[in-house]
Structures are given as structure tokens and as C-alpha cells.
């Protein structure tokens, strides 16, 4: 395991067989409506810390925006690169987060536990008054945004985790996590040929399964966008710019898989998805930080991302992206991805 991998928000370890095993022991404290873990939902109390480069953090950015939580939950944005110690706030004046007044996310983890020894990961939610991280449990975090923060949802917010479909959403999301979200990392950080080929085969078998599932339905579960779509999208968005070459996931590019490519473009062109995707940060992070895979630190110039805005034709399958809700409005000026970073 490289130092960069440990601190990048994608921490994991190599097992004896040479495979990549993700460290999933996150801080599981939850922020809930009833405050049962000591942290009740409260507007202005917490700050969501993200990095646009990270697929796990990108999920939180998308869900926050779709639900309209911007005024209740502020957001600090780390730069795309970091050293082995921590993500840093190098995009902010003086390299210090203007709300938390810290230069490194590590400071919030150490404020909670001075002996904290695991990965300093994004996304993380920090209590502003104490400067202590509350949770970095990213799978639960977005579900709680949908189910516990409802009093602060915007009018017209979609239901991303509808109760009648939760078992199916959970099942599909679990398959996607093991073989796709985490599967690309199993390929990229494999320590043996056998481990790599096993992960490679599982990845593309699952992508084929997803293509079959999505051939005649617009979204993964039901006829609206759900948490499952958010979780798949952030990996698909990084596939051609990073995973195809950098992680050796090279049977096919996303742009060579017709169903998934059209599905990904459909989501990308939906408010909340493409406008939170930063291809410049994505490439900078993976190619500059993962020096064990890319020791030169050279960032590829391509691919051309303008094709993400090409017609996708998925409307013909029906579906209602936001269900009975409405699209989110324009992003806050301070949170806009520069236009030349995403299209």
C-alpha cells in the first residue's frame, strides 16, 4: 500500500494473494434527526469536506445538490492532490479552509482522536464549533442526507432512496460497489497477475450485467434517479479519463459500451451530475498522487470530454429523472466547477 493510497480517501491494503482490500472501517457516528449519536441534524452546525477528484466524495456533492442542502450544510473543497499526510485546502486563500480555519483535513480527524491512525478520507462531515470530524462513513452519509435531513430538503427535492425500493437499491448498489466502484481499484492496485485478472474479469462481467439491465430501462431501479445511479455514475465518469489506462481496465472504454455510455451521458446532462464533475481535478489526482503506478506524474492530455454533451437518446425509454420533484437550480457561484473542467 502506497502512502498516497493510504491518505487519498481511497485507503486500502494488499492481502497476501496480491489483491487490493479496501479499509472500510470508517468513523460510523451518524448525524440524525433525533440525534441519537449525539449529533442532531441542524442547519449551519456542520461542514461537508470533499474533493472533487474523489468518486466517493463526488457522491456526497451530487446528493447534497440534488436535495438542496447547500444552505443547511456548507461545503469545503480540498484540492486534487495531497501529500501522504492529508488532503489539503490549497484551493483556498492561504491554503486554509475559511470556515474550519485548518490547512489540512487531518487536523479535524486529530481533533476528534489525537491517535487517529487510519486514512484521512473524504467525504467527511466536521462539526464547525469543535473542529472535530463527526463521520467519514460515506455510504451511510448520503443515505442520511436523503432520510435524516428531510426538514432541510429543497421544495421539489427527489426521493433518492424511496422506501418501497430500498432492498433493491441496496442489492444493486452492493453489486456495483464490489465489482465496479471498488473493482477498478482492485485492478489498479493488484499486487499479482492473478489478482488483477480476477478483478478485471469481475469488473467487465458486472459492466455487461449493468448494460443488460439498462438496455430497456432508463435508470437502475424504478423509473427515477436513485442512490444506485449516483453510486454508479461517479465511477463511469472516471472510467475513460483514468481507469481505462491508469488502472489497466482496458477491455473497453466507456465510450465503446453503447448502453452504459448513453446512460452516463444522460446522467451527466442532468443538473447535479455533470456540473459537479471536474475532469481536470480527477486526472490531476490519480496521475499525480499515485506515484507508485505513475512515477513520472505526467497527466494525460486527453480524452476529449466534449462528447459527454452529445445526444444520448435515453428519453425514449421514458422514466422521470426527478419523479414528482424538480431539477435543482444553478449551483452556488462559489461551488461552480470551472466550465473548462467539465465540458
Which one of the listed residues 185, 200, 263, 286 is annotated catalytic?
Answer: 185
Q: Are 228 and 176 in contact (CB under 8 A)?
A: yes
Active site residue 138: no
Helical segments of the chain, H only: 3-7, 55-67, 106-112, 138-147, 166-176, 183-188, 193-214, 227-238, 244-246, 258-268, 279-289
Element (H, E) at 205: helix 193-214
Active site residue 185: yes
Distance CA(143)–CA(145), nearest Å, equals: 5
C-alpha cell at 170: 441496496
Which one of the listed residues 54, 78, 187, 249 is annotated catalytic?
Answer: 54
Sign of CA dihedral 69, 71, 76, 80: positive
- Total residues belonging to the chain: 343
Sheet holding 74-78, edge to edge: 74-78, 46-51, 124-127, 132-135
**E strands, the chain, where?**
12-14, 20-22, 46-51, 74-78, 124-127, 132-135
Active site residues: 54, 185
Amino acid at each position: 500500500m502506497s502512502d498516497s493510497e493510504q491518505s487519498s480517501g481511497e485507503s486500502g491494503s494488499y492481502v497476501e494473494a496480491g489483491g487490493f482490500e479496501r479499509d472500510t472501517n470508517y468513523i460510523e457516528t451518524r448525524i440524525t434527526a433525533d440525534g441519537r449519536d449525539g449529533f442532531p441534524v441542524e442547519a449551519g452546525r456542520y461542514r461537508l469536506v470533499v474533493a472533487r477528484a474523489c468518486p466517493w466524495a463526488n457522491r456526497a456533492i451530487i446528493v447534497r445538490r440534488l436535495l438542496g442542502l447547500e444552505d443547511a450544510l456548507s461545503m469545503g473543497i480540498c484540492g486534487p492532490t495531497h501529500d501522504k499526510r492529508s488532503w489539503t485546502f490549497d484551493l483556498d486563500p492561504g491554503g486554509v479552509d475559511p470556515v474550519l480555519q485548518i490547512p489540512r483535513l487531518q487536523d479535524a480527524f486529530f481533533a476528534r482522536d489525537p491517535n487517529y491512525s487510519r486514512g484521512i478520507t473524504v467525504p467527511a462531515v466536521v462539526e464547525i464549533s469543535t473542529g472535530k470530524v463527526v463521520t467519514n462513513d460515506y455510504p451511510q452519509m448520503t443515505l442520511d442526507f436523503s432520510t435524516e435531513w428531510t426538514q432541510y430538503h429543497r421544495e421539489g427535492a427527489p426521493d433518492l432512496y424511496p422506501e418501497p425500493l430500498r432492498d433493491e437499491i441496496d442489492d444493486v448498489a452492493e453489486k456495483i460497489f464490489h465489482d465496479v466502484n471498488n473493482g477498478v481499484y482492485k485492478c489498479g492496485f493488484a499486487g499479482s497477475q492473478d489478482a488483477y485478472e480476477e478483478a478485471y474479469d469481475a469488473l467487465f462481467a458486472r459492466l455487461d450485467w449493468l448494460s443488460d439491465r439498462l438496455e430497456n430501462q432508463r435508470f437502475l431501479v424504478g423509473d427515477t434517479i436513485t442512490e444506485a445511479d449516483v453510486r454508479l455514475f461517479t465511477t463511469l465518469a472516471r472510467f475513460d479519463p483514468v481507469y481505462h489506462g491508469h488502472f489497466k481496465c482496458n477491455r473497453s472504454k466507456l465510450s465503446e459500451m453503447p448502453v452504459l455510455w448513453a446512460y452516463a451521458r444522460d446522467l451527466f446532462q442532468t443538473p447535479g451530475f455533470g456540473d459537479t464533475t471536474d475532469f481536470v481535478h480527477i486526472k490531476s489526482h490519480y496521475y499525480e498522487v499515485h506515484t507508485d503506478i505513475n512515477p513520472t506524474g505526467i497527466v494525460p492530455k486527453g480524452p476529449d470530454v466534449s462528447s459527454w454533451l452529445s445526444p444520448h437518446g435515453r428519453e425514449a425509454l421514458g422514466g422521470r429523472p426527478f419523479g414528482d420533484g424538480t431539477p435543482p437550480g444553478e449551483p452556488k457561484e462559489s461551488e461552480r466547477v470551472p466550465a473548462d473542467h467539465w465540458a
